[in-house]
Amino acid sequence: MPARLAVPLPTGKLTNRGHGTYVENDTITSSVAGTLERVNKLISVRPLSTRYVPEVGDLVIGRIVEVAGQRWKVEANARQDAVLMLSSVNLPGGVQRRKVESDSLKMREFLAEGDLLVAEVQAFFSDGAMSLHTRSLKYGKLRNGMLLSLSPRLIRRLKSHFVHLPAPCGPHGVDVILGLNGYVWVSLGSKQSREGAEGLESEGVYRNDNDEMDAEDRAAITDVANVISMLAAHDVPLSDTLIAEGYAWLREVGVTPGSPASKELGDRLVRELALTE
């Protein structure tokens, strides 16, 4: 029989039952497998496997699933699809003006079904759906990389979720975007990071073609993605320093660039790197 969390109700004190719990025989019992969280008198359990619960200001990565009138629907690993309004995106070239009917006719030229994008949670609609925006040039369509899908609980809240690993991590470096919804984007390093939004070329925000990459760039992207996948497989929360140290560790132990990651390699990585922190 699986072990269960059981917290006796204190005599003479009011204890509130939170999410993931129920009361049985004057005892608060966990209804899911997860971690115990206590806030004053509120007891709740956060499940080990759950959908992303958004908050305003979160950075998320999503995929366009529908283009409707004046809006895009975005799959963002949440309980329901997010919404990106036409009024919440930048026009090509960074033009600042009100959106008109001709812009709505060109919506698929900006973002079409299947496109990946990084955005920020702006607000919530009355039904609980996320409202996203990409008004900053550090947000927008994603190119030149690969997507990893992880559990949202493995993404730490960091000062910046845009990580740049400079050369010698590939000739041009590697960029990593850690979405708080559990989606991670690993891509070719850009000449200017997305953090310096004002310096980016706004004309290429909605380009569909990828830049040319040589074998060394592809190998570096694969290695960084392997490090992230190996850490996630061992339930290690991700951070910018841990990813950089993991890539450096691969080079130290002489792993062939771009080679597939094995379970034994992941066990060794976590044992020698993550568990020593």
**What pTM does this model have?**
0.83
Query: Is residue 176 predicted with pLDDT exceeding 80?
Result: yes
Q: Which of 106, 102, 63, 68 is nearest to 85 (CA)?
A: 68
Q: What is the mean pLDDT of the chain?
A: 85
CB 140 within 8 A of CB 205: yes
The amino acid present at 106, given as its one-letter code, is K
Phi/psi-derived region of residue 88, left when phi > 0, alpha when psi is between -120 and 50, beta in every other case: alpha
Q: Which two tokens stand for residue 117?
A: 């994008």
pLDDT value, residue 36: 82
What is the distance between the alpha carbons of residues 244 and 224, in angstroms, rounded to a whole number? 8
- Tell me whether domains 13-45 and 49-141 share a fold: yes
CB 85 within 8 A of CB 97: no
CATH of domain 13-45: 2.40.50.100
What is the distance between the alpha carbons of residues 132 and 50, in angstroms, rounded to a whole number? 21
pLDDT tens-digit profile of 205-225?
788 888 888 999 999 999 999
The amino acid present at 218, given as its one-letter code, is R
pLDDT tens-digit profile of 31-47?
888 878 888 888 888 78
The percent of residues above 90 in pLDDT, for the chain, comes to: 51
Burial degree of 39 (CB within 10 A; 0-12, 13-18, 19+): exposed
What CATH class has 49-141?
Answer: mainly beta
**Is residue 28 helix, strand or coil?**
strand
**Domain coordinates in residue numbering, the chain:** 13-45, 49-141, 142-276
pLDDT value, residue 209: 85
